[in-house]
Structures are given as structure tokens and as C-alpha cells.
Structure 1
Amino acid sequence: MERRVTEENKYKQTSLREKSKFYPRHMLSKEIEAFDQIITSEIRKEEKKPKRNRPSNLSKEENVALKECDTKELIVKPADKGGGIVILNKERYETEALRLLGDQNVYKILRGDPTVKITNQFFSYLDKGRELDILKEEEHLYLKVKYPRIPVFYYLPKIHKNRANPPGRPIVSGIGSISSRVSEYVDHLLQPVVIQTPSYIKDTMSRLKELEKIIWKHDLILATCDVNSLYTIILHQLGCEAVEHFLKELGKFEEDQIEYLVEGIKLILENNYFWYGGQYYLQLTGMAMGTRFAPSYANLFMLYWEHQMVWAGHGWGQHL
């Protein structure tokens, strides 16, 4: 089929492509091969040594503690905040995981593995993007995950809320999953939009610099607000509506590419499946904390709220 001709640079495209496997021949030498053989030999020698002779990064007390407990019954996870390490009893960990997954408004148990069906949907979506010339050939090849991994559920303990019985923050590890690279593609296109918004703050230092510009008066109050479980409460329709709204407001995307991006977001959101404890689950609302485009998506959703509740009448587009 003859591909239709499109205008140069009509669509916003990315630099995503498979990593090159090219290795310059002039980099190959007998010296490099000899070095490789020496290192490989040393590694094998270390592997053959008894474990008791290997160096340890644990103290004597820590080693004793590990020997006295059944490590198969322990779950080790990083804390949700603060950078600490949390060691939980396996039974307690699973109880909290099942409590989270038991919310039928958010999660649904599937009868079987939906990987093949969902893979076909993503491949059809990507083929459509290539046919429309929205995707370059390099992007098209990169975004197709030929041997996808099944996403896995876990959670991070919120010990800042309860040290004895910490609630969990649900995470879906989707590295290598069928949606992982499409999520990366969407994020590459949404990030520049988020960065240009008037309320965007890069990090703590950026926030401090902004505060320095303010002339404080006696009647000013510094206040913050927080959204409870933001990632899981965003309705698919509202989230996609927010993204579509700001992509159109920006005026730098073609109409058909906006439709294509929103279609891709819906595809990710509606097929957010994962495995835990011998069961396949589907997340019904919100998005998985762990997917690449989640922060950009959540930021645009919150901006949509700000646009209606805070910036109404100011016209955010004039800040871009």
C-alpha cells in the first residue's frame, strides 16, 4: 500500500528508537579480548568461593539477626516516604495487599491472562499511527513490545502514617509490559506541555526561588493542599478530557494527533492489568502508580481543576 505524503514536521515526534547494536570494528582488539577474559575468569573464581569466605556489607549483629529468623516469611520494601527500609511479616504484607485489591470500585479479578488480547489491541493502535504518519518508522518499531512481561502489583508501606500497621501505596511494576513504551511515548509529548503551565514547579529549589520573589505582608498565609489517592481517583473520561483540552489550548498539535494521543491514553488506562498472588486483576479507575506518563497525566488533570477553580478568567494560554 502506498503511504500518503504528509507535510514535513506536521506532527510532534520523539527521538524514541531501539538502541543501536553497532560496535565499531576499530574498537575490537586483542587487548580488549584479553581484558574481558581476565575479568570473566575473576568473576568465576569469586562465584566458586564458599559463601562464608565472601565479603559482607552487613555487620556481625545483622548477620546473626538474619540467621535467627526465617527470611522466607519476611517482605523487605522501601518506605513510601523518608527513604527508610521496612521489614514486614509476609502474612501482614499480604493482608494489606488483599485489602487494597479488595476495593471492587477500583479493581476487578480477571478469569485468565489477557496478555494476547491486549497485545493485539496495542499493535493495531501502533500500526494505525504508522499508517497515518503520526509515528515515524523508528518510533513504530520501538513502541512494539514483541515479548511483553506481565505487570506485577506490590505496595510501599506508609510508615509515616502508622508505624505498627502501615497502610500501603499501591504500585504496578510495568517495566517491559505491552503498554510500557506507549506510556513512555505519551509522556515524551505531555511533559513539555506540563512544563509550560503557569503553576509548574520543578523541585524544592524552584519553589524556594519563587517564594523569594514574593513580598510578604502581615495578612498573607502560606497554605498547601493535598489530594487523597490522586492516581486512583481520576476518572478516565475526565483525565482524557483534561489532556485533550490543554493540547488544543497549546495550539501546537494537529487535531488528528491529539485524537491519536487521547486514544493511546485510553488504551493504557482501560487495559491496566496485572498479576498478584496467582490472580489477574484489572484496574477500573484511575491509573497505576508506576506507569511512565502518570505524573504528567495527573499534573494536567490537576491543572484542569486549577483552570476551573483558580485560574478561571485569566486564560492560561497567555502564559505559554
Structure 2
Amino acid sequence: MEKMKIGKKNNLSKKEREALDELREDDSITIKPADKGGGIVILNTERYEEESLKILNDPETYIKLRKDPTEDVVAKFHQYLDEGEMAGILNDKEHKYLKILHPQRPTFYHLPKVHKDPVNPPGRPIISGIDSISSRVSEYIDKILQPIVLKTKYHLKDTLSAIQELEKISWQEDYILVTCDVKSLYSNIPHKEGMESIKRHLEGETDIPPEQKDFTLEGIKLILENNYFSFNKEFYLQKKGTAMGTRFAPSFANLYMSTWEEKITENKEDNIILYLRYIDDILMIWKGGEEDLVTFLNQLNTKDPNIKLESTWNRNTIDYLDLTIFSEGNKLYTKTYFKKVDTNSYIHRDSCHLRRWLEGIPKSQYLRIKRNCSKESDFNIQTDRLKTQFLEKGYEESRLESTKNEIALMDRKECLKYKNKINESL
């Protein structure tokens, strides 16, 4: 039987393809995803590059290099990995995977923070290091650090973890809801202090051999000190902090914050009813007056010159991650928080994805609303909003109603449980 030839079908019309090509060739504009909200931002390229250079001209964080350092950096990483294999720390399979022979050069770009300023948005710096010389070493190190992060006292895994903790709270009149955002955490962690924090956490891990601990620390040092990238054919080195984009950055930041938290929560057990943190986003419940809270928050900003907090508080309601948290009586309730800059970025039903996968999108979002909403009335309001968004994207109303009714009948307690996942090895 002859093999059937299956032709490729483009799901864009000829006019759409021509318009897309025209946009790609237009050097006067730069198109990037928004930092938050899921939208697309079209910027004047001159303005985009001005903001990029404003970020890169910070002498405390970046330094401009005279030449492309790729060859020297590759040699350092290859030597590090070869020595790891010779010492028996890496097996042959790991060594071959981690040693990239033809790496890509990391590149710099920034995401426009339109939620801060929609006209002249500041940028969130990102280093794209896909297939760079450090990318797989960073992945290897992250697999070692992640289990340690999960054991730290105040680490918050995700929204579900936050809801589980909030469900335990018996609310009182003298409690205050507090959120804090750590300003530019990734780029503000000093290499020396960050390394000391990692070393301290590794010392408590009895199941990690001493030689692997040393190898891990050496790898982190190598990544931090050789965090170079290109922008507009120029090369730069980030000399402070870690790049947003490298795999181990969240674990590095989490463990640094964990060390800081051990100092700031001392002797405050009577005031801090709840303290949780998702990387650089902190949630607290404070017992006492606002004056004492302000004094405490001001003290936090003096504990470490590299950690500065932007704080918000309210006795009744506050937004945290994708939750709006509010009190009624002696209970805390939650519902989904929709940012003002959120856009309808759901994939259109006519997209050339698998039909089963597309139909699963509304269900996953209805489940999210079911999980986040303590009250049925909020679930109904927010699922109506979702329905409108999915109708705009071509989904069938009857299927949406059927999915909503299916989720509505579920016991919410089942949505507040984690499903077991099998961890994949490197």
C-alpha cells in the first residue's frame, strides 16, 4: 500500500499571512508580550531600544564588554563538566547531556510593564538563554535546589497552597491583610551573599554527598560570574543578581529570601498570624494596629540593603497572586482576581490544535474558578464572565454551559487537593 501524502494546511488566510510578513519586516516597530495580563504590545522600536539601554546602562548591575566572550565561557563550562565526570559526580549520560557543543548566545529583551504605565511602560529585563552554554547546567542545579526550596518554612508552591492556608484562619477584628512585593529581587541578589545562602542550605542536606555540594556551588558561581548576553550586536555582563530566564533563578531567589526571613520573623510570633511567600510576593496577616504594622514594615526595609518591599494593607480585602481575599465574620473567603490589564488571550477554537486539547481549555478555566471561589455566587458571576470570553473565541455556547454545570456540581473540596505527579529524572 502506498504511503498517503498529507499536505500541510495553513490556518491563516493569504491576506493574514501577508499582513504578518509585513509586520515582521517593519523595523520601526517592536512587538512583545506584555509583562502581565496576556496582551500583545506594539512599541516604537526607538522607544523600545531607549528603555533597553536605560536598563543596561545601570552600572551597578551591568557592564559592557569589549568583545564576544562566548569562546572563553564555553571553555570554562566544558572544563567544569569534564572535571565533574572525572570525579564521578556526573555519569556519562549526564555529562553528554549537560555539555552543549554548539551553544547559542544568550540575548536580552524586556517585557513592557503596561500595568505600570500604558504609554511609556518600563521594562522587565529577560535574558533568553535557550540552548546557551549554561542552560542545562542551570537545569541540573535547579533539580538539586528545588527539593530544598520545598522544605523551607514560608515557601508557597502556588495559589492552591495559599487557599489551603487561608482556609485554616479564624478571622478576628484586629487582623490586617498585608501584601509585599520585593522590588527587582532577581537582579538585586549579590553573588557572594546569594552563594552563602545556598551553601548554608546545602549544609543541612545529609543525603547529598559533599563532593556534589561543592560541584553544585561551583556551577552556580560559574553561571553567575559568566552571565553574559547580546543586545543590538553589543555584549554585556550582568555583574549583580541572576538573570530572569535561567532555570535555577527562582530557587536561588527563594533560598536567599528564606535566609532573610529567618531574621525578620524573630520575636514577631504574636503579631504575624500568617506569613507566606511566592518567590517575591509576600502575604501576611498582622495582628495589631496599623501604626505598629508600618513600623515593622519600615524595619524590614533596613534588614538587607538588597531587599526593598512595596507594601499594601487592608482590614477587609486584598489582592494576592490570582486571588482576591476578603473577610466576612470570622472567616476568610477568596475569589479569582482579574487584573485591569488582563486581555482575552484564550486560543481561538478555529486554531489548528487538537480538538480535544481545545475543548479542555474552558474546563480547566472553570475548574480554576471553582477552586478560587469560596462562594457559589462568585463562581456564577465569574463563570459568566468566562463564558463571554470563550464565546468571543468561537466556542459553542451549549458546550460551555454543559461544562459549567459539570464543574458546578463538583465538591469544591476535591479541587483543593493536589494530584500526584511522577517526577521526571534529568
Question: TM-score scaled to structure 1, two decimals?
Answer: 0.78
The yes-or-no answer on 1:165 pairing with 2:120 is yes
Q: 2:146 aligns with which of 191, 203, 208?
A: 191
Identity of aligned residues (%): 49
The yes-or-no answer on 1:139 pairing with 2:94 is yes
Q: 2:49 aligns with which of 77, 94, 98?
A: 94
SS in 2 for 1:198: coil
Structure-2 separation of matches of 1:122 and 1:53: 47
What runs of 5+ residues in structure 1 fail to find an aligned partner? 1-29, 315-320
- After TM superposition, the structure 1 = structure 2 runs for residues 19-168 of structure 1, keeping only pairs within 5 Å, are 34-35=3-4, 38-39=5-6, 42-43=7-8, 54=14, 56=16, 71-168=26-123
- Greater fraction of residues in strand: 2
Could you say which residue in structure 1 is the equivalent of 2:210? Answer: 255
Structure-2 separation of matches of 1:265 and 1:312: 33
- Which stretch has the larger CA shift, 68-77 or 298-307? 68-77
Instruction: Count residues in correspondence.
Output: 269
SS in 1 for 2:30: strand
- After TM superposition, the structure 1 = structure 2 runs for residues 171-186 of structure 1, keeping only pairs within 5 Å, are 171-186=126-141
Q: 1:200 aligns with which of 150, 155, 166?
A: 155
**How far has the Cα of 1:132 moved from its partner?**
1.5
| Aligned CA distance change for structure 1 residues 80 and 244 (closer, same or farther; 3 Å) | same
Structure-2 separation of matches of 1:69 and 1:174: 22
**How far has the Cα of 1:75 moved from its partner?**
0.6
Q: 1:230 aligns with which of 175, 185, 199?
A: 185
Q: 2:198 aligns with which of 224, 240, 243?
A: 243
Root mean square deviation, CA, Å: 2.6
- After TM superposition, the structure 1 = structure 2 runs for residues 258-273 of structure 1, keeping only pairs within 5 Å, are 258-273=213-228
Q: Which has the higher contact order (CA 8 A, sep 6+)?
A: 1
What runs of 5+ residues in structure 2 fail to find an aligned partner? 270-426
**How far has the Cα of 1:71 moved from its partner?**
3.0
SS in 1 for 2:245: coil
- Which stretch has the larger CA shift, 115-124 or 196-205? 196-205
Structure-1 separation of matches of 2:267 and 2:185: 22
**How far has the Cα of 1:255 moved from its partner?**
2.0
**How far has the Cα of 1:311 moved from its partner?**
5.5
SS in 1 for 2:221: helix
Map Cα deviations across residues 34-69 of structure 1 (whole Å, 9 max, x no partner): 14xx12xx23xx68xxxx9637499xxxx6x99799
Structure-1 separation of matches of 2:169 and 2:62: 45
**How far has the Cα of 1:283 moved from its partner?**
0.6
SS in 2 for 1:269: helix
Could you say which residue in structure 1 is the equivalent of 2:309? Answer: none
Q: What is the letter of the counterpart of residue 14 of structure 2?
A: R
- After TM superposition, the structure 1 = structure 2 runs for residues 10-21 of structure 1, keeping only pairs within 5 Å, are none
